[in-house]
Amino acid sequence: MEDFKSVLCPYCGQAFDIELDVTAGQDQVFVVDCETCCRPVQCHVAFDESGDCICEIREDI
What residue ranges bind Zn ion (CB under 5 A)?
A: 9, 11-12, 34, 36-37
> Whose Cβ is closer to Zn ion: residue 24's or residue 37's?
37
3-class secondary structure, 59: strand
> Whose Cβ is closer to Zn ion: residue 3's or residue 33's?
33
In the complex, the smallest distance separating the C-beta of residue 57 from Zn ion, rounded to whole angstroms, is: 10
> Whose Cβ is closer to Zn ion: residue 26's or residue 36's?
36
By CB atoms closer than 10 A (0-12, 13-18, 19+), residue 49 is exposed
